[in-house]
Amino acid sequence: MAINAPQLFLLAYDIADPKRLQQVHRCVRAVGIPVQYSVFLIPGLPRDIDALLAELDAIIEASRDDIRVYPLPKRLDVIRYGRQHMPIGLDLIQGADLQEAFLSIVGAPPPGGGPD
C-alpha cells in the first residue's frame, strides 16, 4: 500500500497506571472507534499513526506500559467468539471492505483521506 494512502489500523494497549490509562484512552478515543476494551480501529495515514504514537509516548511509561499498532488489509476476515460487543452501528462483516465500513459509520472520509 502506498505510504500516503489512507488505511485502517488496529491499536491495542495495556497501561499499568489508572491515571495514564485514562489519558491514553482519551487520546486514542479522539481518533479511533473502540471495538473492545483497550482495542481501537483507527483510520488514517501511516504519518497520522506516527503522530498519535508520539503523543502517546509522552503519556506512557515505556518500561511498564505496552501499545501495539497493526496495519489492517483493506479486506479482512473477522472471526469472533464469545460476547459480541461492538459499538452501535459498527458491524464488521466477513470479507467486507473496512474502509467502506468505516465511512458508513462516520459518514466522512477518514483523517488524511483527502488530497495532500
- In our burial notation (b when 16+ CB lie closer than 10 A, e otherwise), range 29-46 reads eebbbbbeebebbbbbbb
How many CB atoms are closer than 10 A to CB 48? 18
How far is it, in rounded angstroms, from Cα 54 to Cα 69? Answer: 13
- pTM as predicted: 0.72
How far is it, in rounded angstroms, from Cα 47 to Cα 28? Answer: 15
Rounded mean pLDDT of the chain?
80
In the chain, the domains with their CATH numbers are 7-106 (3.30.70.240)
Maximum average pLDDT range among 15-29, 63-77, 86-100: 15-29
Q: Is 17 labelled as part of a ligand binding site? A: no
How far is it, in rounded angstroms, from Cα 78 to Cα 92? Answer: 7
- The cell for 81 is 467468539
32, 55, 77, 81, 112 from 49: Cα distances, Å = 11, 10, 23, 28, 11
Strand partners, 36: 39
* Mean pLDDT across 68-75: 89
* Confidence tier at 111 by pLDDT (50, 70, 90): very low
Residue from 61, 31, 36 nearest 48 by CA: 31
Q: Helix, strand, coil proportions of the chain in percent (round to 5)?
A: 30, 25, 50
